[in-house]
């Protein structure tokens, strides 16, 4: 059984795609993902503000002075910006009988500002998967058009590839890359976000075949509850078809910030042959700038009509950010399987994240 878990872990760690994000930051600062990311849906390549200022002044234990910040310059020239994400993991299972290192992520970003409204973005991963799209802020209400290959706008878009909302939904099976080719239109005036995409369904990647397009949508709103408090509520959904069977997803997500405590969560219902339920919940505490403690709970029921086979995952960890380009993430995970699901086990990991 432990050999099976080792193979599963290796599969997961070799397939982390580029477009994932940390939505908790959006709750902490009560700001849209567009403040720090080029893609209005969040995740992937950072904006100039995110790479040059936010990462070096708001995240790390040791913030840079303004004179030092000016020297952090991801712009190759007036039009071209570069970026990167690299994650290395050391893992151990149960009684340390299975340990090892793996390179989870190695992504390079190229952002070409064509003019004041249009941007071209290319993101290429170390193993597989890529994004390549044009993004034009040409619509009213801070609206945009995106065309090319990208991750459709669904849910929280978590960076943790082991989160059940990444693993067990139709687009994230076993941590698989999820980028599709198509068109997205969105609006994000002030506290509102609304995104809708029509893309070529990735059914064949999940063991199926399809010629039908997929429609994916996400909308959310942020409430300001005071200087230190915030509330974020969203709805998301997807309609597609795999092997002639309707593939439907619907979910709710959001977050709540109360002082130094931050909650983020997502609940998804998935219907394709069987009805599934997947949830994610995280409670984080900012001990000081650059040091965050967190606990998480993930739940997955592969068939709501069957009383066995569900899985829980409990996580305790921290995020340590000493500088504006480096992060250490130690985690302990406990996998708890209900009757018929498998053997319970512990998982220990230390992630080393370099970003720019």
Question: What are the boundaries of each domain within the chain?
Answer: 2-355
Which comes out higher in pLDDT, residue 156 or 12? Answer: 156
Strands 192-200 and 180-187: antiparallel
Mean pLDDT of 215-229: 90
pLDDT at position 7 = 40
User: Taking Cα atoms as reference points, which of 286, 289, 351 lies closest to residue 323?
Assistant: 289
Digit-coded pLDDT (tens) for 270-283: 998 889 999 999 99
H or E element in which residue 52 lies: none
Question: What would the CATH number be for the domain defined by 2-355?
Answer: 2.40.160.10
Q: For the whole model, what pTM was predicted?
A: 0.86
Helical ranges in the chain per DSSP H: 2-13, 24-29, 48-49, 55-57, 66-71, 164-167
Q: What pLDDT, on a 0 to 100 scale, did the predictor assign at position 70?
A: 81
| Structural tokens at position 243 | 């092997």
Identify the residue with better confidence: 172 or 116.
Answer: 116
């Amino acid at each position: 059984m432990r050999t099976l878990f080792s193979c599963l872990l290796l599969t997961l760690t070799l397939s982390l795609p580029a477009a994932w994000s940390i939505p908790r930051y959006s709750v902490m600062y009560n700001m849209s993902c567009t403040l720090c990311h080029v893609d209005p849906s969040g995740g992937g390549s950072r904006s100039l503000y995110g790479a040059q200022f936010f990462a070096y002044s708001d995240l790390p234990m040791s913030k840079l002075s303004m004179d030092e910040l000016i020297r952090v310059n991801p712009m190759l020239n007036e039009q071209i910006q570069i970026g990167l994400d690299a994650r290395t993991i050391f893992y151990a299972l149960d009684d340390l009988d299975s340990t090892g290192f793996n390179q989870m992520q190695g992504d390079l970003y190229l952002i070409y500002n064509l003019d004041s409204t249009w941007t071209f973005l290319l993101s290429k991963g170390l193993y597989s998967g890529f994004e390549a799209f044009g993004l034009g802020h040409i619509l009213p209400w801070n609206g945009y058009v995106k065309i090319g290959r990208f991750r459709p706008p669904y849910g929280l878009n978590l960076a943790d590839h082991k989160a059940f909302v990444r693993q067990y939904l139709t687009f994230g099976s076993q941590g698989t890359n999820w980028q599709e080719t198509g068109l997205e239109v969105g609006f994000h005036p002030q506290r509102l976000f609304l995104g809708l995409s029509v893309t070529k369904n990735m059914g064949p990647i999940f063991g199926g075949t399809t010629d039908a397009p997929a429609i994916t949508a996400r909308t959310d709103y942020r409430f300001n509850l005071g200087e230190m408090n915030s509330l974020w509520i969203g709805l998301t959904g997807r309609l597609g078809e795999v092997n002639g069977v309707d593939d439907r997803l619907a979910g709710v997500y959001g977050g709540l910030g109360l002082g130094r405590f931050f909650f983020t969560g997502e609940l998804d219902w998935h219907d394709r042959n069987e009805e599934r339920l997947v949830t994610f919940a995280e409670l984080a505490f900012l001990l000081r700038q650059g040091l965050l403690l967190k606990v998480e709970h993930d739940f997955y029921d592969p068939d709501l009509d069957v009383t066995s086979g569900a899985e829980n995952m409990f996580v305790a960890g921290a995020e340590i950010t000493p500088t504006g380009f480096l992060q250490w993430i130690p985690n302990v995970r406990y996998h708890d399987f209900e009757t018929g699901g498998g053997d319970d086990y512990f998982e220990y990991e230390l992630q080393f994240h370099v970003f720019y």
